[in-house]
Structure 1
Amino acid sequence: MSKQSAVILVLAFLATLAMGVGGGYWYATRWEPKVAGPTSETSAKAPLFYRHPMNPEITSPVPAKDEMGMDYVPVYQDTEATDQAPAGMVKIDPVIVQNIGVRTASAERRTLTRMIRAVGRVDYDEGFLARLHPKTEGWVEKLFVDKTGAKVQKDEQLLSLYSPQLVATQQEYLLALRNLETLKASPYPDIQRGAEELVQSTRERLQLLDVPEHQIRELEQTEKIYKNLHIHSPFHGVVVNIGVREGQYVTPQTELYTLADLCQVWVYVDIYEYELPWVKVGDKAEMRVVAVPGRVFHGTVAYIYPYLEEQTRTARLRLEFDNSDLALKPEMFANVTIHASRQVEAVVVPEAAIVRSGAREQVFVVRGPGEFEPREVKVGISAEGFTEILAGLETGEKVVTSSQFLIDSESKLREATAKMKEPQLGAINAEKQEEDAGKHEQGITPKESPAKDNHTSPIHSGH
């Protein structure tokens, strides 16, 4: 290698070395780690205490780790918080509010009404049921109506009954009539009056034994004793049950027939407890049954039973429906809609806005962009997707209707943290007051006090 080439190599090496040193100096002077120094206000402040990362009720005055090795979270004094802010106040970045899908609605005043839908069961009207029993002992001679379900008319003969007591009473009535005819011309008024009273009492005895009026008149006209007594239907209806057959011996305890008039029916409906405040006697009802498609039956609420069903925890209503054409049959199932007549004028919010936790109900009121205040309210009835607010909220205030459970969790965490801060802040304030008092004794005002030395971050300790 020539002497000229050696000089060129030395010069190139020196130039490269100079460039490296210059670049390193520029990089060292220009670059600064983002974590260096107490650049943020939070890092410059000492934490009040440290809380458990999973359970905020567990705290420590010094840094610590939980059972899984996670560091306790430092808790700083919130300089933005004021004494006027309510406990549990939540502040969330507006971007996060949008990301978690927070929706709001305004409290408004409106009239609440309700339609109650339930399943009903058709049954007999108990006021149009008749159970026929004989008033005396005897034997069934003839059944004129012998089929269950048969239709009968009012005063139609159902059966004939032979009773020795009825035969004897008829004989006594005829004797009383003859005796009255004989003593009618008696000069003694007491004897004549006694004969009349005997006729009257004997006739009443026949009536009390359910002897039909036409048979009594025939007995008076023909003076012929009838062997059999006729039992008649008391109204138009159908035979629900036949309790005897021909030749059977009966007593007053024997049920001869069960008759029902189906021109009007009852419908039983069970509703839930929270629907009871809406219903009252006289409310209109509509009913539809599968057996009569396309037809709507109209009725009314006739009675609200004063107790709840033990098994289902529901209240029973009795509705009345006209059934002149006998389209409705007992034991049918029906879909019933009750149009509650009660109307409530109230301040309401959507039902979804109510957060029910334990024995209280609360809503989250929007105080500003990203600011939500938990507020306990007193609720009333609910209808049409809205809930009545009796106390705690005014018309026009905005409440959260979605994602409020996420906000509720954050609110409870803030409230618990605030409660734990109180003793710490009290101690800090007491310490500050003692320090200020000492400075006043030395003639130094708080503004003249020397600034505390900032603790240097370990990253900068070597610079």
Structure 2
Amino acid sequence: MASRAIYLVVAVIGMVGAGTAAWWLQKPGAAAPQNAAPAVARNAQRAGAAKPISVEVAHVRAMAISDEVQAVGSLRSRRSVVLRPEVSGRVTQLHFRDGARVRQGQLLVQLDDQLPRAQVQQAQAELSIARANHQRNQELVAQGFISQRSVDESAANLQVAQAKLALAQATAARLKIVAPFDGIAGIGNVHVGDYLKDGTDIVNIEDIDSVWVDFRLPERYQTQVRVGQGARVELDALPGATFSAVVRAIDPQIDANGRSVAVRGSIDNRDLQLRPGMFARVTAVFGARADARVVPEEAIVPQGSKPYVLKVVPGAAPDSRIAQRVPVQLGLRRAGQVEVLQGLELGDTVVTAGHQRVQQDGAPVRVVVPAAPEPASLPTSAPARQPA
């Protein structure tokens, strides 16, 4: 019984305490401290928003920039040919040296032409007889001693004799192999006394006073490349040297396999530094602007297809600055710089660091200069240990 009385007293005391606490919390005076906390937080937030935000900036400047694309290609001779005989024969004379210059029409290889020369002499004799007979018949028909039919036959015989002579001369001429154009002879594959069949390779002739550079560009550039445009050519075989090329031809057909367009340029090579077959790195230049407006890449804030920058302009209060969101139209990108086609002018100031702290357009900002990195200190060597 005593324990039940104790439990009853404790329960009554707990209920009274709970009711007293509830009454105290419902008083207007007690609720004030709790409601004060959010109000203080809001005031602090407003105070923080009004405080200028520290940002780093850069200025819009002018820079020479070029619209270009890189590709790889190969060098080719302006004109190249491999000399081959059209008829079989034995080599009797060679009139060139390996790697030497040759001139157009220069005799390079002479094949044995004794039989063709004899045929030419025979054809000349037959032509002489046919011409004399035809002339005699013309005189006789004028005197009425022969018919016109005899004159016609002699005229036909004259034409046959002329054709035989032309055939013999053409056969003899094919035994003389000459240079088709000015160039440099390659390394020959024949010697005097060799018997050559028709179509056998003798020597290659290369015209390299001007060389071609053939390369391919992706099909999206086919509307930009034009005949007469310039290009820079660098070669792994000649490190540090840059050559100027001019676009001479554009293939009208797009390669369906690689979706690319073939382009051919020319390079002046009168000093003979370049050789056909060299690997070339080509930079095709579509256009250049000497006063392009550029900003650092860090200033661009991507937002779908409508990027923008935060431009720093004077605020309403004296000596104050605010960040203004400005949509921009971008152009080329070069070496950490972005060309701005529309939206900014030379000398404008844009934010390059601190974008994430600028929550709204027109927020006050304070320009800070980034601290220069301290040079790394060299580790100090421990003092030499003295021997005991």
TM-score (normalizing by structure 1): 0.48
Q: Is the 8 A contact 2:116 2:172 kept in 1?
A: no
Matched, 1:248 2:202: no
Distance in 2 between residues matched to 1:146 and 1:348, nearest whole Å: 60
SS in 2 for 1:329: coil
One-letter identity of the residue aligned with 1:201: A
Aligned partner of 1:262 in structure 2 is: 208
2:94 aligned to 144, 148, 156, which one?
Answer: 144
2:136 is aligned to 185
Q: CA deviation at 1:300?
A: 2.6
SS at match of 2:307: strand
Higher normalized contact order (CA 8 Å, seq sep 6+, divided by chain length): 2
Structure 1 CA distance for aligned equivalents of residues 41 and 241 of structure 2: 77
Gap regions ≥5 residues in structure 1: 1-33, 46-77, 80-90, 213-228, 412-463
For residues 198 and 405 of structure 1, the distance between their equivalents in structure 2, rounded to whole angstroms, comes to 96
Match of residue 194 from structure 1? 156
Partner of 1:170: 120
8 Å Cα contact 2:77/2:276 also seen in 1: no
Higher-strand-fraction structure: 2
Structure 2 counterpart of 1:158: 108
- Over residues 309-332 of structure 1, what are the superposed CA-to-partner deviations in whole Å (9 max), with x where a residue is unaligned? 978x98765332333343433345
Change (3 A) 1:290 1:250: same
SS in 1 for 2:120: helix
Q: How many residues align?
A: 306
Call closer, same or farther: CA 1:345–1:154 in 2, change over 3 Å.
Answer: same
CA distance in 1, matches of 2:165, 2:300: 75
Is the 8 Å Cα contact of residues 349 and 388 (structure 1) preserved in structure 2? yes
Report if the CA contact (8 A) 1:124-1:260 is conserved.
no
CA RMSD of aligned residues (A): 5.3
Q: Which residue of the partner structure matches residue 389 of structure 1?
A: 341
SS at 1:261 equivalent: strand
**Structure 2 matches for 1:321-336, cutoff 5 A?**
321-332=267-278
Secondary structure at 2:36 match in 1: coil
State the match for 1:402 in structure 2. 352
CA distance in 1, matches of 2:158, 2:37: 125
Q: Percent identity?
A: 20
Gaps of 5+ in 2: 1-31, 139-147, 314-320, 361-388
User: Which among 109, 112, 129 is matched to residue 80 of structure 2?
Assistant: 129
Q: CA deviation at 1:362?
A: 1.0
In structure 1, how many angstroms separate the alpha carbons of the residues matched to 2:197 and 2:230? 46
After TM superposition, the score normalised by the length of structure 2 is 0.55
Query: 1:37-436 to 2 correspondence within 5 Å?
Result: 37-38=35-36, 40-41=38-39, 95-98=52-55, 102-106=56-60, 113-114=65-66, 123-126=75-78, 128-136=79-87, 138-142=88-92, 144=94, 148-162=98-112, 166=116, 170=120, 173-174=123-124, 176-183=126-133, 184-187=135-138, 188=148, 189-205=151-167, 209=171, 211=173, 229-240=175-186, 242=188, 244=190, 246-251=193-198, 253-268=199-214, 280-284=226-230, 299-304=245-250, 317-332=263-278, 341=287, 343=289, 350-356=296-302, 360-366=305-311, 369=321, 371=323, 373=325, 375=327, 378-382=329-333, 385-389=337-341, 393=343, 395=345, 400=350, 402-403=352-353, 406=356
Q: Which residue type is aligned with residue 66 of structure 2?
A: R
In 2 relative to 1, CA 395–186 (structure 1 residues): closer, same or farther, beyond 3 Å? same
> What whole-Å deviation, never above 9, does each CA across 1:342-377 have from its counterpart, x for those lacking one?
5599876555444456x63512343865645484x5
Deviation of the 1:250 alpha carbon: 0.9
